[in-house]
């Protein structure tokens, strides 16, 4: 059952089953929110925003036009998604660059993701990071500007590579490709 707090303003008819929308949230008519999401207090969701299934958006997050959160994404409190690289009062762009947070990625509290950036599948962004460029799948990135400092498993644990291979305590295995990208190995 979908739950919408009485103080929330939800104009969109595209809110998935099992989603919970908490106090003082404002969802505009054009937004799409998937199933089993949790949209916490004081969030704002603009028209051209797509939120996948099982997404958590913590308190104080504004999602402006052009933002896509794929399935299983976690957005920490007070994360910022500016959508206009050259803002001016009284001037609204015809379109906004797509900012895409890929499946399973996590964004730490207070991080900032600049317009047009993509954060890869299962990547983890540290609290307070300034993400100015694309982040690869399974990357652990933090700092200002954010840089890749390691890699993480789907479960969130750090991966240690030896001879281009890593095994997590959860049982998943990974392989580093010659280009530096990470792929999950098939189950043994």
- Share the mean pLDDT of the chain: 97
Q: What region does 2 belong to: left with phi over 0, alpha with psi -120 to 50, or beta?
A: beta
3-state secondary structure 153-174: CCCCCEECCECCEEECCCCCEE
Give the SS3 label for residue 98.
coil
Per-residue pLDDT, averaged over 163-184, amounts to: 96
Same domain, yes or no, for 116 and 91? yes
User: To the nearest 5 percent, what fractions of the chain are helix, strand and coil?
Assistant: 0, 35, 65
pLDDT at 188 over 80: no
What pLDDT was estimated at residue 92? 87
The pLDDT of residue 186 is 85
* Statement to judge: residues 16 and 107 lie in one domain: yes
Residues 22 and 84 in one domain: yes
Are 115 and 85 members of one domain? yes
Is the whole-model pTM more than 0.85?
yes
Q: How confident is the model over 49-77, as a mean pLDDT?
A: 99
Residues 172 and 187 in one domain: yes
- When pLDDT is averaged across residues 103-119 and rounded to a whole number, the result is 99
**Domains of the chain: total:** 2
Say if residue 106 is in the same domain as residue 160.
no
Q: Which domain holds residue 171?
A: 156-188
């Amino acid at each position: 059952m979908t739950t919408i707090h009485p103080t929330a303003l939800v104009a969109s008819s595209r809110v998935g089953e099992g989603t919970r929308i908490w106090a003082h949230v404002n969802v505009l008519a054009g937004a799409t929110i998937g199933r089993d999401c949790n949209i916490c207090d004081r969030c704002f969701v603009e028209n051209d925003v797509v939120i996948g299934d099982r997404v958590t958006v913590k308190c104080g997050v504004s999602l402006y036009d052009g933002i896509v959160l794929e399935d299983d994404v976690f957005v920490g409190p007070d994360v910022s998604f500016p959508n206009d690289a050259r803002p001016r009062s009284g001037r609204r762009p015809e379109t906004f660059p797509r900012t895409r947070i890929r499946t399973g990625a996590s964004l730490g509290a207070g991080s900032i993701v600049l317009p047009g950036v993509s954060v890869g599948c299962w990547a983890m962004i540290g609290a307070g990071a300034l993400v100015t460029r694309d982040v690869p799948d399974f990357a652990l990135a933090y700092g200002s500007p954010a840089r890749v400092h390691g890699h993480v498993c789907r479960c969130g644990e750090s991966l240690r590579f030896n001879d281009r291979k890593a095994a997590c305590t959860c049982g998943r295995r990974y392989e580093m490709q010659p280009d530096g990208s990470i792929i999950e190995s098939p189950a043994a």
